[in-house]
Amino acid sequence: MSVNQYNTTSTTEVPERFENPGLEEHRPRLADRDPRAAKRAERQIVLIFTFSILASLVAIVAYFAIPLDGSPSSVRMSTLLLGLGIGIGMLGIGIAAIYWTKTLMNNIERVEERHPQRSPQETREVAAQMMVDGVNDSGIARRPLLKGALAGAVALAPLPILVPLVGNLGGDWDVSKFKHTMWAPGMRLARDPSGEPIKASDVTIGSVFHVIPEPLKDEEEFYEEKAKAIVLLVRLDPRELKEPAEKADWSYDGIVAYSKICTHVGCPVALYEQQTHHLLCPCHQSTFDISDQAKVVFGPAKRPLPQLPITVDDEGYLVARSDFTEPVGPSFWERLK
Ligand code: FES
């Protein structure tokens, strides 16, 4: 067995000695004995790094080449290519590094003698020399192609993450559009996702409906508008509702409609507890009391869910009285008023 050629023993302290724990005699690998095998392994490693580079390039090209027009197919394709590109890019670097270590880097077993934590100067110099030797052992100085492939793969790998971030800096930062949704006076409340309008008589006490504006299905920016306008509809016993005088006509016979977007950081609130009238946000457990203007009773949210004023039309369908009277979603938007 080869042993350490570095003497890390301090002149003043004698390290503890130990027996060989059972390591086998060192056996040189094929690449250690045969320069052609080493060259072949090098080419294979370069090939894997090249795959990594190509995958990262695919992710970058996909980000620019696939326009997100709001259709599910474009979102799916963009996400798939970005995910595959970034994943294979990172995986390629990992596989190439492991393969490089296993085939070309020095694998001689070494015994390192123990010594006090604070190393004497002499040991530090030895450590520095070991690092230099390690670089030499890796052969990177003698293999410029391998060095270039490694540098290229490592340099490109973060780009699929950075490019979208930088690209979005020039995006649409007009936050005023978050102050309004597509709800308008007389617009019918419809089931999500079918778009079927809802009659007040369909809503029994204790039932919960996920609601969108009826015209939403024809809307060009379907997802953007839905993300702002989605509402949760609940019917309670009217005697259990606590409504201030100015909002007495915002509900209809115990039916109330509240924004489904949590005022903490915007998750969809959806877990309704019929007995307590509590509505829970699954993300960070903010809890809103539907019987008392959706006030926050627990959790990090700082303001109630905005209420959508509703009534019924001549045919008994539930309709909005107006848009929300305050911004929906995280409290951040409220501060921009
Ligand atoms: S997003 Fe709802 S509690 Fe955090």
Could you give the C-alpha distances from 7 to 23, 66, 113, 119, in angstroms and in order? 20, 59, 8, 12
Helix or strand run (H / E) with residue 56 = helix 35-65
pLDDT at 334: 53
pLDDT at 147: 87
Domain boundary among 115, 139, 169: 169
pLDDT at 335: 54
pLDDT at 115: 63
Whether residue 1 is contained in a domain is answered as no
Phi, psi at residue 259, to the nearest 5°? -55, 140
Read off the CATH number of the domain in which 242 is found: 2.102.10.10
Please check whether residues 35 and 162 belong to one and the same domain.
yes
Whether residue 264 is contained in a domain is answered as yes
Per-residue pLDDT of the chain (337 residues; tens, 9 = 90+): 444 445 444 444 555 566 777 778 888 899 999 999 999 999 999 999 999 999 999 999 999 898 877 677 888 888 899 999 999 999 999 999 999 999 999 888 777 776 667 788 888 999 999 999 888 888 888 888 888 999 999 999 998 888 888 776 666 666 677 778 999 999 999 998 888 999 999 999 988 999 999 988 777 777 888 888 999 999 999 999 999 999 989 999 999 999 999 999 899 998 899 889 999 999 999 999 999 999 999 999 989 999 999 999 999 999 999 999 988 988 765 554 4
Ligand 1 and 305: CB distance under 6 A: no
Please check whether residues 159 and 231 belong to one and the same domain.
no
Nearest ligand 1 atom, CA 267: 1
| CA-atom Rg of the chain in angstroms | 33
Please check whether residues 297 and 252 belong to one and the same domain.
yes
Cα–Cα distance, 184 to 176 (Å, whole number): 17
Ligand 1 and 270: CB distance under 6 A: no
Whether residue 6 is contained in a domain is answered as no
Ligand 1 and 300: CB distance under 6 A: yes
Please check whether residues 142 and 233 belong to one and the same domain.
no
Whether residue 134 is contained in a domain is answered as yes
Distance (angstroms) between ligand 1 centre and the Cα of 299 equals 8
Helix or strand run (H / E) with residue 84 = helix 72-103
Ligand 1 and 284: CB distance under 6 A: yes
Please check whether residues 222 and 289 belong to one and the same domain.
yes
Nearest ligand 1 atom, CA 284: 3
Cα–Cα distance, 188 to 311 (Å, whole number): 10
Q: What is the pTM of this model?
A: 0.55
Please check whether residues 123 and 222 belong to one and the same domain.
no
Domain boundary among 169, 196, 211: 169
Whether residue 23 is contained in a domain is answered as no
Distance (angstroms) between ligand 1 centre and the Cα of 81 equals 30
Cα–Cα distance, 186 to 312 (Å, whole number): 9
Ligand 1 and 56: CB distance under 6 A: no
Please check whether residues 118 and 259 belong to one and the same domain.
no
Please check whether residues 104 and 201 belong to one and the same domain.
no
Please check whether residues 189 and 217 belong to one and the same domain.
yes
Distance (angstroms) between ligand 1 centre and the Cα of 285 equals 6
Whether residue 161 is contained in a domain is answered as yes
CA atoms within 13 A on the CB side of 215: 12
Bridge partners (DSSP) listed for residue 191: 211
Distance (angstroms) between ligand 1 centre and the Cα of 47 equals 46
Ligand 1 and 124: CB distance under 6 A: no
Nearest ligand 1 atom, CA 301: 3
Whether residue 42 is contained in a domain is answered as yes
Please check whether residues 120 and 210 belong to one and the same domain.
no
pLDDT at 332: 67
Please check whether residues 100 and 233 belong to one and the same domain.
no
Distance (angstroms) between ligand 1 centre and the Cα of 20 equals 57
DSSP one-letter code for 188: B
Whether residue 137 is contained in a domain is answered as yes
pLDDT at 87: 96
Q: Which domain holds residue 46?
A: 30-169
Domain boundary among 169, 190, 221: 169
Distance (angstroms) between ligand 1 centre and the Cα of 162 equals 27
Please check whether residues 181 and 307 belong to one and the same domain.
yes
Nearest ligand 1 atom, CA 262: 2
pLDDT at 142: 82
Distance (angstroms) between ligand 1 centre and the Cα of 322 equals 26
Mutate to test the pocket of ligand 1, among 262, 288, 298, 302 (most ligand atoms within 8 A of CB): 262
Mutate to test the pocket of ligand 1, among 232, 260, 267, 288 (most ligand atoms within 8 A of CB): 267
Beta strands in the chain (DSSP E): 189-191, 208-213, 231-235, 255-259, 271-273, 278-280, 287-289, 295-298, 310-312, 318-320
Please tell me the total count of domains within the chain. Answer: 2
Which residue has tokens 């979208």? 164
